[in-house]
Structure formats: C-alpha cells, structure tokens
Amino acid sequence: MNAPSVSRVARSRFGVLPDGSEVERIVLQWDGGIEASIITYGASLQALLVPDIVGRRDDIVLGHDAFEGYLARRQFFGATVGRYANRIAGGRFVLDGKDVQLAVNNGANALHGGLEGFDRRNWRIVRIEDGDRPAVTLAYTSADGEEGYPGTLEVEVTWRLTGPMELSLDMTARTDRPTVVNLTNHSFFNLSGARSGRQILDHHLTVAADHFLAIDAGAIPLPQPPSEVAGTPFDFREGFEVGARIRNDHPQLRVGRGYDHNFCLAPATGEPRFAGRLAEPTSGRVLELFTNQPGLQVYSGNFLDGTTGGKGGRLYRQSDAICLEPHAWPDTPNRPDFPSARLAPGEVYRHTTSYRFTHAIQGAIGIQSKVELPRSGR
C-alpha cells in the first residue's frame, strides 16, 4: 500500500490587476509542518504558517489578507526586491567606464529597484512541483533600461519546502549586457504571529557578524571601512533582545531610528552559511537563517507608523516586525572596496537563503536552543 503524501500544493486566484491580469497564489504545505503562500505579484511570501512549541500554527509574516492591500501601498511586505535591493547613492554609478543614471525614489537615492521595482511586477509561473519537496518557480524579464539599469535581465525565483520546518529560496539571474544585480526577500517577521498584537522587541536576535556598515542620514554607507560591532549596540554575536539597546543614545541608532543597517557576514563561498537567528520566548519559535550572500540587512520596522492596515484588520506600528534581508552590501556599485555586485553576460547570479525553524525553551538567561547552533564569523 502506498504511503500517504506528506506534502501538497494548492493554486488559486488571489486578485486582479487594473489591466485585467490575474494574480495567483500558490500554497506549499507540509503535513504537520509549515505552510508557505506565494503570490505572483512581486513573487512575494504572502503568508508563512509555523507551529509553536505546542504545535499551534500561526502566520508569522506581515502583509495583507486581500490583494487590494498590496496594490494600494508599496511597503515590500514579503516581496522579491530588485534589480538592486537597498540603496544606491544618487541613483548613479559608473559601470565599465560608462555613467549609469537610475530612477531615484528615496530622496536623492535609488531604493529597492526604483519607482517600479520587481516587487511591483506580476511574475509568471514557470513550474510547480508537488511531492516530497513542493516548490514553485516564478520568472520575470526586466527589459534593458528598466528603471535605468543596463541589460535585459532574466530572473527566476524558486520557493521550496525542503523539510517539514524549512523554507528555501533560490534566485538566479542572467544578463545580455554588463549590469549590477542584488536581489533579496523583504519579509517582515513576527514570531509571535502577524495578528498577535505583540512587538518584536523581546525577540532574541543573533547575527554572525563582527562588523556593520555605519550610514548617513540617507542610509548610505559612510565613506569608511566597516565598523566593529564590539562595544556597541550592534553586537549581536552572542545574542541579545532586539529592544535591549535599541533606545541607547548611539549616533547610528539615532540616524537609523533604530536598526536599519547592513551586517557584514563571513566572506561568501557560494554555499549558504549561518547568518542569523531569531527566537521568541512565548511561542518558542526559532528562525535560523542561512545564506550565501555577503550581507544581512537588519531592519527593526522603524517606519511602520500605524497608517497601514494589515492582516486581521491590525494597524502596523513601529517594532511590530523585523526584517532580515540577505543581500549584497548597499551602494556597492559606488564602492570598489565592497564585494562586487557586477554581473556579465555568460555569468549566473545565484542567491540561496534557507529559513529553518526549530523550537526553544526559555532558560534562566535568554533563550536556549534545543539544537546546537552553527556559527560563522567574519
């Protein structure tokens, strides 16, 4: 007799764009484990249901219950961000001796792909896989000159359940002209649950980085080498509550209105390595993030201002979620001292990130995991 299936895929309509094109939702399910909902608009993670320590599943990412919320206001909830995640100073850089001018959309700077980035595009479904490792692959073709970027870029994003408690994200890109590429996922995590009404200040954060990038008032890295985290509120190497030092009178916390900084991970080798860990004491949920990217942007939801209604009719406010965004360092095209984001014809850009969930018990000091954590330093 055949064993019962432990996973499955569901596909349905999620909404309609003004031009009449359909936005679809693909739900990847693992019996007794996690459930991930992906929408074609922005190749976005719309929902992620994860069991707590007693087995009760809650959605742990901010967003909207209906498509109209995503269309009404651009806030990157769960979105695939590109062609260049984070900021490029002045929206300009020099590539192979030629000046490139991008669309600017964040003061004088280009942010998250410009005025209409990958998060505002309706991606096409190219493959759905059912079975033991359910997955969906979405694709988007970014035309030469879109938002000012050179080269036609062919991008694919694959979301896959690689275990009962693991969601993986693989992104590839190819170009017909030299260009720059920096993709990420912009999920807003709250391990208490997106509808819980709890903030993330009691979440325990670990980041495997000895250095971070100090920024100016426009969130552009300062013209200096990476700063050491030692002796600062940015030292999360041994783990700390997010809110423990977020209101310290540190100049970088003032300029960022909290944490909104790139942490410099161990040199990339092409293979995913441990980058960070987030744990929540009440639910016992633990998220461990592994990536092959050189940086991890930690954003503590500083600009959520209560003007956006989200899931369950809740208003999202400051510190209601935290983003852990693996990607290249910001403003890399203008910083030859930073790891390069250049992509040439014949090369393949590859981004791999895994979100692994476990459970923890609350110890006398902080949160102690039931499993030994891998570590990686700079």
The DSSP output letter for 332 is G
Mean per-residue pLDDT, 275-283: 97
Residue 270's pLDDT band, with cuts at 50, 70 and 90, is: confident
Side chain identity, residue 375: R
Active-site choice (64, 112, 186, 261): 186
Q: Please say whether the dihedral angle defined by the alpha carbons of residues 193, 162, 276 and 342, taken in this order, is positive or negative.
A: negative
Side by side, which strands form the sheet with 260-264?
A: 188-189, 322-327, 295-299, 260-264, 211-212, 227-228
pLDDT of residue 4: 43
Q: Where are the beta strands (DSSP E) in 178-330?
A: 179-180, 184-186, 188-189, 204-207, 211-212, 227-228, 240-241, 260-264, 273-279, 285-291, 295-299, 305-309, 315-317, 322-327
Distance CA 151, CA 323 (A): 30
Helix, strand, or coil here: 256? helix
Residue of 340, 329, 292 lying closest to 179 (CA atoms) = 340
pLDDT at 1 over 90: no
The DSSP output letter for 148 is G
- Higher-confidence residue: 368 or 137? 137
pLDDT of residue 362: 54
Residue of 134, 132, 136, 188 lying closest to 159 (CA atoms) = 136
pLDDT of residue 360: 87
Distances (CA, A) of 91 to 334, 338, 363: 10, 17, 47
pLDDT tens track for 164-196: 999 999 999 999 999 999 999 999 999 999 999
pLDDT tens track for 213-230: 999 999 999 999 999 999
Q: Is 271 a catalytic residue?
A: no
Q: What is the pTM of this model?
A: 0.93
- Classify strands 204-207 and 315-317 as parallel, antiparallel or unpaired: unpaired
Q: Is 325 a catalytic residue?
A: yes
Which two structure tokens, joined as six digits, stand for 315? 């208003």
Helix, strand, or coil here: 253? helix
Residue 132 CB partners (closer than 8 Å, separation 6+): 6, 7
> Mean pLDDT of all residues in the chain?
93
Distances (CA, A) of 182 to 143, 155, 202: 16, 11, 31
Distance CA 322, CA 359 (A): 19
Distances (CA, A) of 163 to 7, 31, 224, 277, 320: 10, 10, 42, 18, 28
pLDDT tens track for 280-338: 999 999 999 999 999 999 999 999 999 989 999 999 999 999 999 999 999 999 999 99
Q: How many CB atoms lie within 10 A of CB 55?
A: 8
Q: What percent of the chain has pLDDT over 70?
A: 93
pLDDT of residue 285: 98
Q: End-to-end CA distance of the chain: give it in Å, rounded.
A: 51
Active-site choice (288, 325, 327, 359): 325
